[in-house]
Amino acid sequence: MSTSWGKAALLLVLALNNVAVADDVITSDTYFYGDSPAVYPSPEGTGAGDWPSAYNKAKAFVGNLSDDEKVNLTAGVSSRTGCSGYIQAINRLGFPGICVSDAGNGLRATDYVNGWTSGISVGASWNRNLAHDRGTYMGKEYRKKGVNMILGPVVGPLGRVALGGRNWEGFSTDPYLSGILVSESVTGFQSQKVATSVKHFIGNEQETNRNPTTDSAGNTIESVSSNIDDKTIHELYLWPFQDAVLAGATNIMCSYNRLNNSYGCQNSKALNGLLKTELGFQGYVVTDWGAQHAGIAGANAGLDVVMPSSETWNSNLTTAIANGTMKASRLDDMITRLMATWYYLDQDSAFPNPGVGMPSSASAAHQAVNATSQAAKPVLLQAAVESHVLVKNTKNALPLKSPKLISVFGYDAYGPMSLDLAPSSSPDLYQNGTLWVGGGSGTNSPAYLDAPIDAIQGRAYDDGSSVLWDFTSENPSVDYTSDVCLVFINAYATEGSDRKALSDSHSDTIVTNVATNCANTVVVVHNAGIRTVESWVDHVNVTGIIFAHLPGQDTGRALVEILYGDTNPSGRLPYTVAKNGSDYGSLLEPAQPEGKYEYFPQSNFDEGVYIDYRAFDKKGIEPQYAFGYGLSYTTFDYSDLNVSKKSASPSPYPAKAAIVPGGNPRLFDELVTVTATVKNTGSVDGKEVAQLYVGIPNGPVRQLRGFDKVLIKSGQSTTVSFSLTRRDLSTWDTDAQEWLLQPGTYKIYVGRNSRDLPLEATLTF
């Protein structure tokens, strides 16, 4: 059994396969033979950690199944179209089936639910408690609707490609921040006994060529291959998945792309090796919809359930067992893992009927189940508020102080012309209004939509202000008596395609034209990903800029709280904003099928761990706005940094221990405690996000390894505390296949963002 894979350099076994190269187009995948090592057999779930009771019940259940019943549970069916997927019932054993549905930010295509903030907004909040509460209340809605499993949250894509179409569904380009927030989200969801399907495992960093296509001549173009070396996959892309499994995630969704030239849902190294062996995952693996590209080979590689159905499994599974190409124990393990999840979350007890509240033209079972609640409203609003990141505020532009005349411009200020059970947005945003969520399966169904213009007019009524607006003109007329001009633009993204650019000329022109005629212009950007602002950021009349991200249904109400200072902004950027798109270099655009790889697109992750701020630091590129950056209406000072080691000389490698969900538990032993004092030196109360970065020997200049969001009253101080675990301080040793705590000097930084770290210390092991 291979236990490692080296640098993905596409080493070829040409002599054995007699494949021509040079400038010829590759037409056989034997060219890539050996890129992804084989790891067999698929490890059986053991009931490790807190899973023993669930496994005992699941094994007893499986023991009563016929072979046909076992096979039926390995793939979804379409008999309940109100759910995104459905695993059919076995009535004779009292199993009602399992309903799974999108999305990670609220149910879609249904009624009586809320449209929550998207992943990128949770990342912008840097608020672990809010992530947990959001998950909890969202989980309550899923449960009331009879949805057994949420298809989310998302930590893949991580955001390697700046123009990635689904980056907005995830939390951040940083694995540590993503890991903390996915952990809290999983815990919140599953506190309501709703399963989580953490996705997409793994290396799903672009939408371009995510699925096989055909060219005009009918030739098949395979999915893009994410070619990632062993060290990078551990230190970057696997990291948040490990945190999710550690938190108790019950399901992992495998991805469309190939990983080192083996499809993600049949990659034995990823599923059997990384997930089920190294991380000790006890739940089951499900395909993304239509991501099955192999039959028995997929099952042997660690795939457990196919969605939405399987054309290749069915009776072929029992045939494979009969002819020896698959073991009967593998089929039993697939179903045991599935049913263990059901029992683990006590869904056998007092859980609503699957899909009971999901509209379905094919079923009379739909009931008007109201899943919203008054208790959720404060969390909905606070999540929306903390989605906003104030990045520019000059001339005391904000907060607003009862302005006499507010002029509002831009296509993003108003609500959509229609809102039904399946709301959608499209790239033609100049007609579709404000952006509260991105497109594709991550779209949600809001109970209402409080658009910015509606909330602004409501506040104007209270204050006795006047409001003028023009949503359609590229060069609108500006009343010279305007106290403030608010310009609303957005940056759209959707599943299925990557973005074309990080800015657009139409939006930029609106901003520039308004600013030319208005001395106090505040720009609000609802952005489903990174949005550059180079053409107008330094305009003397652009006094304020807010990245509002995707705040969900309370978008207008939340914005008004920020604009008027009812709430002090506390959002921070979960990514780096460059001065120019070219600053992202090779990580700007997705890889394309080209040259000899025309039919087998390749995306080589040659940059290793150096994405986003790690890359900017390495190359000495000054960002427009640094990772972790965000302004407040008050100011904070830092002092009294203290670093304390728990052990004078910890071992280089973690002690051996039985693997539990999340991996070796000794990886999470606390080795170092860091504290600092933060004082609010301004005139208003506010929340600060204190951030800890570590410079690990032979690694990036600094990496986020802690954050603490604290409310500090004006003139008061508080102590922030960070715990550094063995994993936080280690690097992946590809030879030893262990996390290595290197001897040497470590740099400790604490401050406001990745480029503003006033406190420094050293740590030696």
Active-site residue list: 288
d(CA 366, CA 224): 40
Closest CA to 260 of 612, 585, 4, 611: 4
Q: How far apart are the C-alpha atoms of 493 and 85, rounded to whole Å?
A: 24
CA distances from 154 to 157, 260, 410, 494 (A): 7, 21, 31, 14
Tokens for 304, please give them.
Answer: 């457990």
Q: Hey, what's the torsion of the CAs at 632, 633, 634, 638, to 10 degrees?
A: 10
Gap between the Cα atoms of 376 and 192, Å rounded: 14
Between CA 34 and CA 17 the distance in angstroms is: 12
Read off φ and ψ for residue 250, nearest 5 degrees: -95, -15
Contacts with 411 (C-beta within 8 Å, 6 or more apart), sequence order: 429, 430, 431, 433, 471, 472, 488, 489, 490
Omega before 202 within 30 of 0, i.e. cis: yes
Q: CA dist 223 to 44, 132, 609, Å?
A: 29, 35, 23
Number of H helices, E strands in the chain: 19, 27
Which stretches of 175-233 are DSSP H helices?
175-190, 230-232
**CA separation for the pair 538, 534 (Å, rounded):** 8
Residues in the chain, how many?
765
What are the structure tokens assigned to 283, written together? 């739940």
Report the alpha-carbon angle 469-548-473, nearest 5: 25
- The residue whose two tokens read 């689904």 is 166
Burial label, 457 (beta-carbon count in 10 A; 0-12, 13-18, 19+): middle
Residue 487's SS3 state is strand
Amino acid present at 139: G
